[in-house]
Amino acid sequence: MARSDTPPTLPAPASRRRVLQAGAAGLAVLAAPVLVRAQASPKIRIGYWPIAAGLPFYAAVEQGYFKSAGLDVEVQRFAGAQQIMEAMLSDRCDGSANGTGSANIAIGEIAAPGSFKIFCSNPSNAKNVLDQMLVPAASTAKTMADLKGKRVASGPGIQNVTLAKTILERGGATGATVVELPIGQHVASLAAGQVDGCYTLEPTGTIGRLNGSTRVLEAGVIAKYVLGDPMAPWFGGSASLTSAFIKKNPEAAKKFITAYGQGVAFVRSKPAEARQYLKGYTAIEGPLTAEVPLAAYTMYNEFTPADVAYFQKFFDLFSEKGIFSSRLMVDTMLYKG
């Protein structure tokens, strides 16, 4: 092609002004501080309910990990894990903190396949205690079987109720009646004699023990009675994001998960310091935070085949009980990065 010797046409003066103005605006955006530019990032609405397992999320918020990543995270408190799942399903919430029932999330996944991705779970057992069966301090009960025919409370929602019924049944407590109660009422209900036992989650057991009104009948009950080994990892709660949020905001999702992972690392490396963040997020305050046992945490890229197998065994219980309408494979729900 022959080279043209015709000089390029210059824009009209008004056009040149517009070009210069646009260029200056672009340079101003590039030169703006990171925090100013971060305001354009989407709001990430994360739901939690007030139990100790949510500690990595509480720590990440209070340590400023999300803000440092330029993220706008809205903390949403719920009375139960099932409500968090329903909020995520209806696009009122973008994710869940640790402690949100994994089976609750799974029920939402079955209702709307492909809706949720789990990026961190909190395994507990007899060592890393989260789940417990409590009785009044003056109770004569020594084993699970001693709760035969008794009234036993559980937290709200299908996961808590199903697990309470299962451990009572497998522990020999036939004829026990399970009643749903908000977790904040567990200690008071036991102390008042309204119930004879309570399947609950930390920090409830610590609160009851320290005020002298309750004692632990057994800890790590799901690992023992559902998974068949007191030291098996029970992945009862999980942090997750909706697939819709991840698809719409892939970079923000990656940053959020990375910052959340910093919260996990902080809890692992500085548990004594991290415990202070239970205050305000759970019912336990001040020096009492030092008494709460902590769950373990497994990020999406740390799961072993054995972990996935135990997680699957937990999900399969809900299929066997008819709570899940079909068998759900855990691996399909794990975030892959």
Identify the residue with better confidence: 197 or 2: 197
Amino acid at 102: S
Token readout for 12 is: 């009209």
Q: Where are the alpha helices (DSSP H) in 90-201?
A: 102-111, 158-170, 186-191
Q: Tell me what pLDDT residue 322 has.
A: 94
Give the helix ranges, DSSP H, for 69-157: 81-89, 102-111
Range in 39-43, 121-125, 285-289 with the lowest mean pLDDT: 39-43
Mean pLDDT on 60-89? 97
Compute the half-sphere exposure of residue 77: CA atoms within 13 Å on the CB side of its CA: 7
> What region does 99 belong to: left with phi over 0, alpha with psi -120 to 50, or beta?
left
- pTM for the model stands at 0.84
pLDDT at residue 10 tops 50: no
For residue 76, give the H/E element and its range. strand 72-77
Q: Quote the pLDDT of residue 40.
A: 67
What is the average pLDDT across 221-237? 97
User: What is the average pLDDT score of the chain?
Assistant: 89
User: For residue 242, which amino acid is it?
Assistant: T
